[in-house]
Structure 1
Amino acid sequence: MKKILVTGSDGFIGSHLTEELVKSGKKVRAFVCYNSFNTWGWLDTLPKEILNEIEIFSGDVRDPNGVRKAMIGIDEVYHLAALIAIPFSYHSPDTYVDTNIKGTLNVLQAARDLDVSRVLVTSTSEVYGTAQYVPIDEKHPFQGQSPYSATKIGADRLAESFYRSFNLPVTIVRPFNTYGPRQSARAVIPTIITQLLSGTVEIKLGSLSPTRDFNYVKDTVSGFIEIAKSQTTIGEEINIATQQEISIGELAEELIRQINPNARIICDEQRLRPDKSEVNRLLGSNEKIRYLTSWKPEYPLECGLSETIAFFQKNLNRYKTDLYNI
């Protein structure tokens, strides 16, 4: 049986992916970020029967020696570990270079040396910047509109170079905006939901006009798994997108409708991105993933939001609803 390493397995998408791989009978080693509390992020919340099947490796993707040790005996790598918050990347770009670029390089180097049979490197729709045409396909130009997106562009191009230079079996997986249970409060959907559930009637947001293409996390996870099943995806970069868009303002109104129709939106200046940094439109093409795999999105936005709200209702105490989380 193939053995799979998931970096960033303690995070939002990574924990869902790890859980699904275990449920499907896969042998999984979960690379979690070392900390002195010995906490394993969202993996700590998984049922015991799932968690007991996972081999935990604590380390740091910035450490090449730890990454190499974690990858010994591994057949496939799903590389999700990254720093992702855009506002924090304005504050600490150095850490994004170290984690997103150097961390990816460490994974690629170890995979090459250890003859790993598949490497899936996680990208982001932010690498495209504001859409120059829609739907955005994989040939769309890249534009680093934040330090975060710039480092992800760098990581993607490193991954491409290892495929082209060393024939490493790499696929660049590019999810558009993923949401769902376990997402951090810095993302827009948890930001709105947690404010609403805390009883706030004035919902603080930044710009309302940008549009996004939202994937429910279970659809994103199934996209990763379907991409890994196919040999035709090696050497490719592939969007995971619904090919539908909604503005942040419309999204907020839908959440208000579902949770508290008496709430209203107000603009919070500190939540606004710099004008040239704000990505105004993201609408992804899913033509390529549909052609190369059997994947298709299963969760309409209204359904996914309903499941997400239910999670936050049960876990609101985990979130600091009175803060602007960057």
Structure 2
Amino acid sequence: MNLKGKNVLVTGSEGFIGSHLTEKLVEIGAKVTALVQYNSFNSWGWIDTFDKNIKENINIVTGDVREYDSVKRIVKGQDVVFHLAALIAIPYSYLSPMAYVKTNVQGTTNVLEACREYDVEKIIHTSTSETYGTALYVPIDEKHPLQGQSPYSASKIAADKMAESYYRSFNLPIATIRPFNTYGPRQSARAVIPTIISQVLAGKREIKLGSLSPTRDFNYVKDTAEAFIKIAESDKTIGEVINAGSNSEISIGDLAHKIIRIIGEDVKIICDKERIRPEKSEVNRLWADNTKIKQLTEWTPKYSLEEGLTETVDWIKNNMEYFKTDIYNV
């Protein structure tokens, strides 16, 4: 499928990954509708920061994936739907599990049902590597068992299974992308990489982190956005769950030291108990097997971790007003 000229909807378009994907879709010539969560401030999230030439080529609509009438109205007339809207902060899911069910499970079901009603040509549903839980073997392929180690991951597993059920029950043309740990410009301070960078750039000589031993498979956001597009374009991806990862791992402690070296400061790392997940909830190891996405789409990451971190440091340095480094953002 060639996305140029296609009517394409992005839910969660105002967020971190969604905003990068929206920009990229405009650049390749798609007719993009960006669903932004309704709010009384008329804020379009990161879309507000887009270059005027990009913004003028986006049809921006407000709504809420939790409301079926809202979703149905927006999905009508779309050829392709990228569904990214979700609650994603793991610590907050411990405080309000039901909010994650309403947005991630019910919201996803609303999108799927609307797509079924209007015969959408392709749906790309967004999963997460957190659905795997702590690796039972590495690298993690798509056959790895799913483990609900937090209310967030449990809600995403449920959403993934709803997507699978709509493919199997109604032959809905769905592909599920399972990104591993995406980072880059526009990511909020609740994530580990901007947490490290913003604290160091704020001049702190001691930075607070959670557990330092878990490993993650990090992917630069431009590579992740490209993976979404490649999966949408390939006819081979329908009915498939597909990892998007780098096929490498690094511990949080080693990552922090790498970032500190890039910035060039002398900083001490403090393990803050407030930031540590409950013992049985911590995901101790994530490392993606990306064989399947390469076979189906020929996608491969273009950015090394060093390159991506350097670009992220530069962006945060110029946008420190978005970061409250004295507050632990759950």
- Identify the TM-score tier after normalising by the shorter chain: over 0.9
Question: In structure 2, the residue corresponding to 1:276 is in which secondary structure?
Answer: coil
Alignment match, 1:107: 111
Q: What is the aligned counterpart of 2:148 among 130, 141, 144? A: 144
| CA deviation after TM superposition for structure 1 residue 190, in Å | 0.5
Runs of 4+ in 1 over 4 A off after TM superposition: none
Alignment match, 1:77: 81
User: Does residue 263 of structure 1 match 2:230?
Assistant: no
Alignment match, 2:282: 278
Check the 8 A contact 1:9/1:30 in 2, yes or no.
yes
User: Does residue 294 of structure 1 match 2:298?
Assistant: yes
| CA deviation after TM superposition for structure 1 residue 214, in Å | 0.3
Alignment match, 2:159: 155
Alignment match, 1:320: 324
Question: In structure 2, the residue corresponding to 1:324 is in which secondary structure?
Answer: coil
Q: What is the aligned counterpart of 1:119 among 117, 123, 126? A: 123
User: Does residue 200 of structure 1 match 2:204?
Assistant: yes
Alignment match, 1:89: 93
Kindly provide the CA deviation profile for residues 252-300 of structure 1, in whole angstroms up to 9, marking residues without a partner as x: 0011111143101011110010010000000010000000012000000
Distance, in Å, in 2 between the alignment partners of 1:154 and 1:265 is 36
| CA deviation after TM superposition for structure 1 residue 319, in Å | 1.4
Alignment match, 2:59: 55
User: Does residue 7 of structure 1 match 2:14?
Assistant: no
Of the structure 1 ranges 1-10 and 255-264, higher mean CA displacement relative to structure 2 is found in: 255-264
Distance, in Å, in 1 between the alignment partners of 2:82 and 2:138 is 28
- Unmatched segments (≥5 aa) in structure 1: none
| CA deviation after TM superposition for structure 1 residue 318, in Å | 1.4
Alignment match, 2:72: 68
Of the structure 1 ranges 260-269 and 43-52, higher mean CA displacement relative to structure 2 is found in: 260-269
Check the 8 A contact 2:215/2:251 in 1, yes or no.
yes
| CA deviation after TM superposition for structure 1 residue 213, in Å | 0.1
User: Does residue 38 of structure 1 match 2:47?
Assistant: no
| CA deviation after TM superposition for structure 1 residue 162, in Å | 0.2
Kindly provide the CA deviation profile for residues 143-191 of structure 1, in whole angstroms up to 9, marking residues without a partner as x: 0000000000000000000000000000110000000000011000010
Check the 8 A contact 1:7/1:78 in 2, yes or no.
yes
Distance, in Å, in 2 between the alignment partners of 1:206 and 1:149 is 19
Alignment RMSD: 0.5
User: Does residue 130 of structure 1 match 2:134?
Assistant: yes
Distance, in Å, in 1 between the alignment partners of 2:318 and 2:91 is 27
Distance, in Å, in 2 between the alignment partners of 1:34 and 1:48 is 22
Check the 8 A contact 1:180/1:217 in 2, yes or no.
yes
User: Given residue 129 of structure 2, which amino acid in structure 1 is its aligned partner?
Assistant: S
Check the 8 A contact 1:196/1:260 in 2, yes or no.
no
Check the 8 A contact 2:220/2:303 in 1, yes or no.
yes
User: Given residue 73 of structure 1, which amino acid in structure 2 is its aligned partner?
Assistant: G
Matches for 1:12-27 after TM superposition, within 5 Å: 12-27=16-31
Alignment match, 2:258: 254
Question: In structure 1, the residue corresponding to 2:77 is in which secondary structure?
Answer: coil
- Unmatched segments (≥5 aa) in structure 2: none
Question: In structure 2, the residue corresponding to 1:204 is in which secondary structure?
Answer: strand
User: Does residue 224 of structure 1 match 2:220?
Assistant: no
User: Given residue 107 of structure 2, which amino acid in structure 1 is its aligned partner?
Assistant: G
User: Does residue 29 of structure 1 match 2:69?
Assistant: no
User: Given residue 87 of structure 2, which amino acid in structure 1 is its aligned partner?
Assistant: L
User: Given residue 151 of structure 1, which amino acid in structure 2 is its aligned partner?
Assistant: S
TM-score by length of 2: 0.98
Distance, in Å, in 2 between the alignment partners of 1:22 and 1:7 is 15
Number of residue pairs aligned between Structure 1 and Structure 2: 326
Alignment match, 1:234: 238
